[in-house]
Amino acid sequence: MNEVFFLVEEAVEGGYVAKALGESIFTEADTIDELKANIKEAVQCHFDEDKMPKIIRLHLVKEELLTL
């Protein structure tokens, strides 16, 4: 595996949550910088060294509502 993909969203209660696609990895943090550090740590804990992905790709999703 060369890459692992994360879906990053703003949490309702504040901060951010990240869920890996196709892997059972989930983490959260108050800031985006903290989240990035938590994601790296979670990936290192989840994979064996010989299966460690070379790239972590983040897909940031921001929901906005528009009213008429």
Domain count for the chain, please give it: 1
Read off the pTM. Answer: 0.89
Question: Is residue 56 in a domain?
Answer: yes
- Tens digit of pLDDT for each residue in 55-65? 999 999 988 88
Is the CB of residue 18 less than 8 Å from the CB of residue 26?
Answer: yes
Mean pLDDT, rounded, of the chain: 95
Question: Is residue 66 in a domain?
Answer: no
* Structural domain for 37, as ranges: 3-61
Q: For position 27, which CATH number holds?
A: 3.30.2390
Exposure letters 20-50 (e unless 16+ CB within 10 A, then b): beebebebebeeeeebbebbeebbeeeeeee
Question: For residues 65 and 35, what is the distance between their CA atoms, to the nearest angstrom?
Answer: 25
- Tens digit of pLDDT for each residue in 40-56? 999 999 999 999 999 99
